[in-house]
Amino acid sequence: MRLVLPEGTSILITGASSGIGRALALGLAAKRLRLYLTGRNATSLMEVVLRCREAGASGVSWGVADLATPKGVAQLFEDIQSSGTVISALVNNAGSGRFGNFASLEHEEIARMVHLLVVAPLLLAKKWLPDWQASRAGGVLQVASTGSFQPGPLTAVYYASKAFGLSWALALRHELRGSGVCVTVLCPGATLSQFSSRAGKSELPWARLPEFVARKALKAWFRGDHLVVPGWENRLLVTLSRLLPLSWVAFLASAGQKPAKKG
């Protein structure tokens, strides 16, 4: 089931101001599609908006929103409605993580991560899904992670939240069979972006460029694939995660987690 987008409608991309979200926005702009971009950093977001317009997007709207809070999600809904934008597809990309033992995390920090990675994607999809079913078009690109397939000591909340996103999106795809709505899950591994440094951990040596990840993801989404794992290293990691005992997988995941180098 290929992705179909009604003419004159827009794709909403969350976390579009940097990393994979930025690369996805530019990739979609090159297809001359209409976009609605959102993120927390207004300066960075506006730079991406300008780049998307230069890349050929047929229209770009944007709004600053912090999706880690209920207020931020409500504000995004209000801004989109006020702009008159019709959303026909959703890229659930916004994310954040935190390196460290679960016991050391603050209550508010945990709540924000879970809202951003679990609650907000559900609310966004639920908002427009009835319209997409009625028009028999549209779709969701759910950005999960190779961490979706394994326990993640020292990034436990992030990995568990990504596992939720993978399970939910694949279940949603099954529910929407024959509806015309296409759901694809992207599971990138280590990616060269600001994500790891913000989370407080070192980047892995096989980290891929965001542009590589975005190119693979968009090809799979428009083709109607259910799952895409860019990079042979990451596909090998996922295969091992499925074959090995979970206790081994947790140990290996922990061994691969290193704090960011200072200075």
pLDDT of residue 184 exceeding 50 = yes
Quickly state the pLDDT bin for 10 (edges 50, 70, 90).
very high
Quickly state the pLDDT bin for 198 (edges 50, 70, 90).
low
32 Rama class: left (phi>0) / alpha (psi -120 to 50) / beta: left
pLDDT of residue 261: 55
Q: 235: which 2 tokens?
A: 């596909």
Calculate helix-pair angle for 19-29, 42-55, nearest 10 degrees: 30
Quickly state the pLDDT bin for 150 (edges 50, 70, 90).
very high
Q: Note the pTM of the prediction, 2 decimals.
A: 0.90
46-56: average pLDDT: 98
Is the domain 10-255 a CATH 3.90.1150.10 member?
Answer: no
Backbone angles phi, psi at 14, to 5 degrees: -90, 150
Domain-by-domain residue ranges, the chain?
10-255
Q: Are 63 and 40 in contact (CB under 8 A)?
A: no
Mean of pLDDT over the chain? 92
Residues forming beta bridges with residue 182, ordered by sequence position: 139
207-230: average pLDDT: 96
218-229: average pLDDT: 98
